[in-house]
Amino acid sequence: MPLSAVENAYLRVSQANRQQLGYYGEALHLTSTTGLTLTELQHRVCVDRLDLATHFLAAGDKLSRARPSQPRSAISRFYYGMYHAMRAVVYFAEGGDDHEKHLILPKKTPADFPSAALWQNSLKDARERRNEADYDPYPASQSHFFRVSRALQGDAHGLVTESRNYLKSKGCLFL
């Protein structure tokens, strides 16, 4: 005869070590203080990360339109828009935030993400362009960075849109 839900809970608590019990307590605290289930909290985190990505896109757009234009800074903001959008996707797909490192994140692009290989390469390239814009004094020409910024702007907007659509299609709440 299978265990009742209460008996199953007793069994799990009785077999849990101190660390697991701490995790159970933290989950209960989070859900009771927010009124949201753990799944709802996770989905909210995904949406908030997408909102952060959108914030970075808007900042990049503004830097691109500024007079004089600030393409190096815009490149950085566009990269971070892409980074946070993909973090939302990977967090949702993986069920946790274990892949936030910049070199690891692109490799964790879900296989069922539309054009996964393309976006994986775009994110890796965007990181390289961001590093170049942030750290390299050369090329000194702003025209080089202006071209990079324009290309990255399109990629960044595309990835954020695709990420939002993907999460929506996977049942992410609050979208």
pLDDT value at position 101? Answer: 95
Name the residue ranges covered by the structural domains of the chain.
Answer: 1-35, 36-169
Tell me, rounded to whole angstroms, the distance of Cα 139 from its chain centroid.
30
Encoded tokens for 16? 């849990």
For residue 168 the two structure tokens come to 């929506």
Burial class, 49, CB count within 10 angstroms (exposed 0-12 / middle 13-18 / buried 19+) = buried
| Range 36-169 has CATH code 3.30.9.10 | no
* Average pLDDT, rounded, for the chain: 96
Q: For residue 170, give the 3-state DSSP assignment.
A: coil
Q: How do residues 142-172 score in pLDDT, each as one tens digit?
A: 899 999 999 999 999 999 999 999 999 999 9
Amino acid at 129: R
To the nearest 10°, report the CA torsion of 35, 41, 43, 48.
Answer: 110
- pLDDT above 90 for 1: no
pLDDT in tens, 71-124: 999 999 999 999 999 999 999 999 998 888 999 999 999 999 999 999 999 999
Answer whether residue 70 shows pLDDT above 90. yes
Residue 55 has pLDDT above 90, yes or no: yes
Number of residues that make up the chain: 175
Threshold 0.85, pTM exceeds: yes
Q: With 90 as the cut, is the pLDDT of residue 140 above it? A: no
